[in-house]
């Protein structure tokens, strides 16, 4: 038995030689992605993952892990395997977006035309 | 692979790049040089993945084992407020381990595999946690100076190239700032207290100074290998640079309190560099390889926790669970 400086360890009556079977696959469960909202009106932000056996436990772990500091009003947890994500390798699918100036307010410049018109009048 | 080109076994730099696709490697290095982060599913050199797994995993193990010497004093912390604060700090450390394990998992090593490597002694963790916290003052010195060292290391690594590790470290550094203030407050209380309290904190400081000097590791050998890891922003600062930064920030604060450091050669020279007696690296090696005062106890306690919790984890597991590598 370990005689420890830590009374909790001594009380737990632990053998110093205590080989154990290795943890099996999924011993630590699957993962959930956690989304956190700081205050009403804010977007929920992805903050990381937790390992959990079900959504309720994922919620509890998510609250402890990501909501124990500062402000929180809401948390979402989603199974990692339910997230459908794009691949970074395919990020060229977004390439033409910045070129589509007709979708942007900045793509419309009328002052030049107005000033020219006024001068001409 | 490029056939069987001969690689000099002594040329670690060549070995670490052997067989990598030069075009992909070039794009990868350009991305890092431009200050962009690497994300989990990106192409990365094998050695980059391997070194990051090793580093992040060890960091996670350190957080979880570090909770043991500090937790020693939860039951006997002087006063309710300090007990609450110490419990919060220890919870943070365990939370940091969770964040770091998650970051390492994105590189493809499962959490179970990492825990198995910890409890069998295959993976390492920070050497300092193989020393005991004899008194309350030891816990105070750990909270102040070990956390100070950890912050220097973590702030440097938070500017690294691997996205998930940087994100975890940003969160960790924010939380560590409370640890540092809490530890400093405790040390100042003892150092400005009664004669007995001063003796207690001086004793703890004297005991912890050698492990603190070991904390950043031995001087790096300047090799092509380290050069590549620095280019890949896996290693962000040399061990000696971090040790200098630590001495520069904390020795004056320690001396301010009239405490004595057990190294007669410790001084800042005219060039602004700290001089010190070279730490005993043989002792460091002995402890890291299992020969320290607490190695066996730490791992036995860890194994015990895994074993006694196993039935709960199994009872909660459902057959439809399926593990996939976390996204970010």
> Is residue A7 assigned to a domain?
no
pLDDT of residue B10: 66
Interface of B with A in 259-318 (CB under 8 A): 296-297, 300-301, 303-304, 306-307, 310, 313-314, 316-318
> Is residue A2 assigned to a domain?
no
What angle do the packed helices B80-105 and A55-66 form, to 10 degrees? Answer: 120
Give dist(CA B20, CA B1) in Å, integer.
7
- Which residues of chain B are within 8 Å of residue A14 when distances are taken between CB atoms? 300-301, 304
Q: Stretch B93-114: mean pLDDT, rounded?
A: 97
Q: What is the pLDDT of residues B64-84, one digit of tens each?
A: 999 999 999 999 999 999 999
- Which residues of chain A are within 8 Å of residue B105 when distances are taken between CB atoms? 31
- Which residues of chain A are within 8 Å of residue B328 when distances are taken between CB atoms? 33, 46, 48
pLDDT of residue B224: 78
Band the pLDDT of B3: cuts 50, 70, 90.
very low
**Cβ–Cβ < 8 Å for B172, B96:** yes
**Cβ–Cβ < 8 Å for A34, A57:** no
Q: Is there a contact between A80 and B326 if contact means CB atoms under 8 Å apart?
A: yes
Band the pLDDT of B6: cuts 50, 70, 90.
low
Model confidence at B161: pLDDT above 80: yes
- Which residues of chain B are within 8 Å of residue A20 when distances are taken between CB atoms? 119, 303, 306-307
> Is residue A112 assigned to a domain?
yes
Give dist(CA B112, CA B222) in Å, integer.
35
Model confidence at B4: pLDDT above 60: no
Long-range contacts of residues B283-290, Cβ cutoff 8 Å, at least 24 apart = B283/B210, B283/B214, B284/B127, B284/B214, B284/B218, B287/B127, B287/B130, B287/B131, B288/B124, B288/B127, B288/B130, B290/B121
DSSP state of A12: T
CA distances from B202 to B127, B209, B249 (A): 22, 11, 19
User: CA of B301, closest CA in chain A: separation in Å?
Assistant: 7
pLDDT of residue B155: 95
Q: What is the pLDDT of residues B23-33, one digit of tens each?
A: 999 999 999 99
- Backbone CA torsion sign across B145, B62, B49, B120: positive
Q: Stretch B137-159: mean pLDDT, rounded?
A: 96
- Which residues of chain B are within 8 Å of residue A31 when distances are taken between CB atoms? 102, 105, 323-324, 326
pLDDT of residue A99: 85
Give dist(CA B53, CA B192) in Å, integer.
43
The pair of structure tokens assigned to B167 is 């994100």
- Which residues of chain B are within 8 Å of residue A30 when distances are taken between CB atoms? 321-324
> Is residue A70 assigned to a domain?
yes
Q: What is the CA radius of gyration of chain A?
A: 28
Report the residue of B60, B83, B324, B325 to disrupt the A interface, i.e. the one with the largest count of A CBs within 10 Å. Answer: B324
Which CATH number goes with the domain that contains A97?
A: 3.10.20.520
Average pLDDT, chain B: 93
The structural domain count of chain A equals 1
Out of B102, B321, B324, closest to residue A48 by CB: B102
Counting Cβ atoms within 10 Å, is residue B301 exposed (0-12), middle (13-18) or buried (19+)?
buried
Portion of chain B with pLDDT greater than 70, in percent: 97
Whose CA is closest to A2, among B34, B297, B127, B242?
A: B297
The pair of structure tokens assigned to B174 is 């924010």
Query: Mind listing the domains of chain B with CATH numbers?
Result: 38-303 (1.20.1260.10)
Contact with chain A for residue B24, Cβ under 8 A: no
pLDDT of residue B9: 58
Report the residue of B73, B98, B129 to disrupt the A interface, i.e. the one with the largest count of A CBs within 10 Å. Answer: B98
CA distances from B241 to B142, B205, B251, B254 (A): 21, 22, 15, 20
Reading phi first (left if > 0) and then psi (alpha if -120 to 50, else beta), residue A43 is in beta
Find tokens 């050998």 and name the residue.
B221
**Cβ–Cβ < 8 Å for B140, B73:** no
CB pairs under 8 A between A and B: 127
Model confidence at B318: pLDDT above 90: no
Cα B101 to its chain centre, rounded Å, is 13
Domain boundaries, position A114: 27-120
Q: Is there a contact between A29 and B317 if contact means CB atoms under 8 Å apart?
A: yes
Out of B68, B134, B321, closest to residue A26 by CB: B321
Interface of B with A in 107-126 (CB under 8 A): 110-112, 115-116, 119-120
Model confidence at A26: pLDDT above 50: yes
**Cβ–Cβ < 8 Å for B20, B232:** no
Model confidence at B277: pLDDT above 50: yes
**Cβ–Cβ < 8 Å for A69, A88:** no
Counting Cβ atoms within 10 Å, is residue A30 exposed (0-12), middle (13-18) or buried (19+)?
buried
User: CA of B7, closest CA in chain A: separation in Å?
Assistant: 31
Q: What is the pLDDT of residues B201-239, one digit of tens each?
A: 999 999 999 999 999 999 987 777 888 999 999 999 999
Q: Stretch B4-33: mean pLDDT, rounded?
A: 81
The chain B residue lying nearest A67, using CA atoms, is B95
CA distances from B308 to B65, B116, B301 (A): 17, 15, 10
Give dist(CA B162, CA B51) in Å, integer.
11
Give dist(CA B60, CA B168) in Å, integer.
11
- Which residues of chain A are within 8 Å of residue B132 when distances are taken between CB atoms? 5
Mapped onto helix, strand or coil, the DSSP state of residue B265 is coil
- Which residues of chain B are within 8 Å of residue A29 when distances are taken between CB atoms? 313, 316-317, 321
The pair of structure tokens assigned to B237 is 């600062």
> Is residue A85 assigned to a domain?
yes
pLDDT of residue B5: 46
Q: What is the ipTM of this complex?
A: 0.90
pLDDT of residue B8: 62
Q: What is the pLDDT of residues A41-77, one digit of tens each?
A: 999 999 999 999 999 999 999 999 999 988 999 999 9
Cα B232 to its chain centre, rounded Å, is 20
Q: Is there a contact between A23 and B326 if contact means CB atoms under 8 Å apart?
A: no
> Is residue A114 assigned to a domain?
yes
> Is residue A115 assigned to a domain?
yes
Whose CA is closest to B101, among B135, B35, B148, B57?
A: B57
> Is residue A6 assigned to a domain?
no
């Amino acid at each position: 038995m370990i005689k420890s400086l830590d009374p909790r360890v001594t009380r737990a009556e632990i053998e110093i030689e205590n080989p154990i079977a290795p943890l099996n696959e999924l011993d630590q469960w699957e993962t959930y992605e956690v989304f956190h909202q700081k205050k009403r009106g804010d977007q929920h932000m992805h903050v990381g993952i937790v390992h959990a056996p079900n959504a309720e436990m994922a919620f509890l772990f998510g609250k402890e892990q990501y909501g124990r500091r500062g402000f929180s009003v809401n948390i979402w947890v989603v199974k990692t395997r339910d997230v459908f994500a794009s691949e970074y390798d395919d990020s060229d699918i977004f390439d033409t977006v910045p070129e589509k100036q007709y979708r942007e307010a900045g793509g419309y410049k009328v002052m030049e035309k107005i000033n020219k018109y006024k001068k001409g009048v | 692979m490029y056939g069987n080109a001969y690689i000099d076994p002594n040329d670690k730099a060549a070995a670490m790049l052997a067989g990598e696709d030069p075009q992909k490697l070039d794009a990868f290095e350009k991305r890092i040089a431009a200050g962009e982060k690497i994300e989990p599913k990106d192409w990365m050199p094998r050695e980059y993945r391997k070194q990051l797994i090793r580093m992040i995993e060890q960091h996670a193990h350190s957080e979880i084992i570090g909770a043991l010497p500090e937790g020693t004093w939860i039951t006997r912390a002087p006063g309710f407020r300090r007990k609450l604060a110490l419990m919060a700090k220890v919870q943070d450390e365990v939370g940091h381990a969770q964040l770091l394990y998650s970051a390492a998992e994105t590189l493809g090593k499962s959490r179970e595999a990492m825990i198995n490597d910890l409890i069998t002694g295959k993976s390492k963790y920070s050497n300092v946690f193989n020393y005991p916290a004899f008194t309350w003052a030891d816990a105070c010195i750990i909270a102040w100076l070990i956390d100070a060292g950890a912050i220097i290391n973590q702030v440097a690594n938070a500017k690294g190239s691997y996205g998930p590790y940087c994100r975890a470290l940003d969160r960790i550094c924010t939380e560590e700032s409370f640890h540092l203030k809490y530890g400093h407050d405790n040390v100042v209380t003892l150092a400005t207290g009664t004669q007995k309290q001063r003796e207690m904190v001086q004793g703890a400081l004297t005991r912890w100074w050698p492990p603190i000097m070991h904390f950043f590791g031995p001087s790096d050998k300047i090799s092509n290998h380290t050069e590549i890891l620095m280019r890949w922003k896996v290693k962000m600062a040399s061990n000696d640079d971090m040790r200098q930064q630590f001495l520069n920030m904390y020795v004056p604060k320690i001396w301010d309190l009239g405490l004595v450091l057990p190294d007669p050669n410790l001084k800042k020279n005219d060039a602004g560099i700290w001089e010190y007696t070279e730490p005993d690296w043989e002792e460091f090696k002995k402890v890291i390889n299992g020969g320290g005062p607490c190695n066996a106890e730490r791992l036995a306690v860890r194994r015990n926790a895994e074993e006694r919790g196993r039935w709960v984890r199994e009872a909660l597991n459902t057959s439809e669970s399926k593990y996939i590598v976390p996204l970010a």
